[in-house]
Amino acid sequence: MSLQPIDLYSPDRRGQAKLVLENVSKQFGEGAEAVRALSPVSLVLCPGDFVCIVGPSGCGKSTLLNLVAGFERPSTGRLVLDGRDIDGPGRERGVVFQQGALFNWMTVLENVAFGPRAHGNRQARERAMHYLELVGLAGFAQRYPYELSGGMQQRVGIARALANEPEMLLMDEPFAALDQQNRELLQEEIKAIWRRTGKTVLWITHSIEESLFLATHVLVMSARPGAIKSAFQAEFSRSDDPFVSTTPAFAEAKRRILGLLREESLAARHQEIES
C-alpha cells in the first residue's frame, strides 16, 4: 500500500462527478480589510469517495466545507452537485460539526427523528431507530444528550445526519474534542458505516493518521489563502486490518504528508511575521 498522486479534477473524474468545485474562492470583507481565505480551488468528488482534507490552521478547510454545505457563497467559481448549482443548504448534504449540536431538551430518539419528522416522514421514529442501531446506540434512545459521553453524543450527531438520508456527508473535525481511545473507536465505526452505506464523504481533520485511516483520497492544503498543494489516492481505508496504522507503509505515508504540512506551517509563520 502507498500514496499515489492524483489529479482530482481530471476529465475522467469530471465525467462521473458527484460534486464539482470549479475555480471556487472565498474572500471575507472588502478593500484593505479583506481576508482571502481560499484561493481558486477545482476538484471533483465521485460517488462513494471519502475525501479527507488536511492543512495548517486557518488554511480554509472549514471555509471550503461551509461552501459545499451552502452556508457560505463563493466569491468566485461554481459548486455543482448532481448537475445543479449549490445555492444554499439542502437535505442532500448532511453536516456533522465538531460538537454534537444536539437539542438537550429532546431525547436521543427525538433528536435523530427531528429532521425526517420536519420533512413529513411518517416513519421518522422507525428511521431514527434504524440509524441509532447503525451507530450502536439503540439502547440509549430514551436518554437525553447531557446523559451521554462526548463520544456517544458525536455518534448521535452522525445518526441524525444519516437519518435525513443525505447523498453526501460533510464532516468538520467531528472527533477533534474526543480522547484518543474514543477517537479510534469512532474512526472504525465511521469506516464501517461508510462501507455499508456507500455515502460520498468530505471530511475535515487536523489528524494525518485519521485522514489516512479513513480516506480514499487525501487532499493537502497550503497556508492561507488555502489552495490544493497535493492530492493523493490512499488505499488504507480499503484494508480490513484493524492495525493497518502500525504498518511501515502507513508510517511512510504519514511522513510524506507531514513533510508537506511542515512546509506549509513554516510558510504560515513567515506570513504572520511579515504582516
Which contiguous run of DSSP H or E holds residue 191?
Answer: helix 180-197
Full DSSP string of 51-75: EEEE-STTSSHHHHHHHHHTSS--S
For residue 83, the model assigns a pLDDT of 93
Domain ranges (residues) in the chain:
16-92+166-247, 102-165
Assigned C-alpha cell, 21: 468545485
Note whether 111 and 155 are within 8 A (CB): no
- pLDDT tens for the chain, 275 residues: list them: 678 999 999 999 999 999 999 999 999 988 878 889 999 999 999 999 999 999 988 889 999 999 999 999 999 999 999 999 999 999 899 999 877 679 999 999 999 999 888 777 778 999 999 999 988 899 999 999 999 988 889 889 989 998 988 999 999 998 887 888 888 888 888 898 899 889 999 999 999 999 999 999 999 999 888 899 999 999 999 888 888 999 999 999 999 999 999 888 776 666 665 55
CATH of region 16-92+166-247? 3.40.50.300
H-type alpha helices, 119-176? 124-134, 150-163
The cell 471519502 sits on which residue? 50
Nearest to 48 by CA among 239, 173, 162, 215: 215
Q: Cα–Cα distance between 73 and 248 in angstroms, integer?
A: 42
Cis peptide before 74 (omega within 30 of 0): no
